[in-house]
Amino acid sequence: MSGSSSPPPPSVIELIRVLQFGDSVLPVGAFSFSGGLESAVHEGIVRDRETLRQFVRTATRQAATGDGIALIHAHRATRADELTRIMTIDQAVVKRKLNEEIRTMTTRMGRKLAELCEHVRPDSIMAGWLAAIRAGATPGSYPVGQAVAFAGLGLGEPDAFVAHQYGVASMLTGAALRLMRLDHLDAQTILYDVNAAAAEDYADIHDTTLADMHSFAPEAEIAAAIHLQATVRMFMG
């Protein structure tokens, strides 16, 4: 048996980076937010496994046609080393957030991710984006941060998109376990079923322009607005 070993193929390294930066326990503060689910549960919009599955799927579809479009364009801009373009996309994301808590969520998580990358694996484009956030020149949204991080790690656009979609679904199912009577196995089943739509969602938005960003989920928007006025809350948003 040889004493030397071959380095792992690039695909192995790429996969482990996707797992790390797409992990729901990545310390960016996702656990503090419920994406409107807390109010949806309190208002009876979400009351059982099936209504939760519908809520999560609506959220992932909304994420794909909104933040997901921004993410793929920010990923392409990062690959092209176009910081000004990244900042333009970043502004477009935040301008489309109607709710104050949702804006807080995306910018807080985006900044945390940028600071994490600065510590774990610094690179010039992420450093430039973080400097712009600190200077108040750009808001620092989470989907743009994911795009910059994944592109900087040499990971592909589909990887970044899938990690983003998984993060949305994982945040909601994790919050559901704390908000309602839900079995861990049911939560994982919902996560598995909803995430099966990621390939279809990516195919739908792959050739879109930034101007195509949109979302339409009235119940989720109303739930988020109700949450803003709540006097007792488990989650920040």
Does the pLDDT value for residue 224 go beyond 70?
A: no
- In a domain, residue 6? The reply is no
Would you say the pTM of this structure is higher than 0.95?
no
- In a domain, residue 1? The reply is no
- In a domain, residue 66? The reply is yes
Please, what sign has the CA dihedral across residues 93, 210, 30, 217?
A: positive
Phi and psi dihedrals of 182, rounded to 5? -145, 130
Domain count, the chain: 1
What domain range includes position 119? 30-229
- In a domain, residue 16? The reply is no
What pLDDT is stored for residue 4 in this prediction?
A: 58
- In a domain, residue 2? The reply is no
Closest CA to 235 of 64, 17, 29: 29
Q: Which of 4-18, 28-42, 178-192, 198-212 has the lowest mean pLDDT?
A: 4-18
Q: Which alpha helices (DSSP H) does the chain contain, by range?
A: 10-21, 37-42, 49-63, 69-79, 83-95, 100-120, 124-134, 142-152, 157-179, 184-195, 198-205, 218-229
Closest CA to 98 of 191, 225, 1: 225
**pLDDT classification of 232: cutoffs 50, 70, 90:** very low
- In a domain, residue 155? The reply is yes
**pLDDT classification of 3: cutoffs 50, 70, 90:** low
Average pLDDT, the chain: 88
- In a domain, residue 118? The reply is yes
Q: Which of 4-13, 72-81, 200-209 has the lowest mean pLDDT?
A: 4-13
- In a domain, residue 174? The reply is yes
Q: What is the CATH number of the domain that holds 110?
A: 1.10.4190.10
Q: Is 229 exposed, middle or buried (0-12, 13-18, 19+ CB in 10 A)?
A: exposed
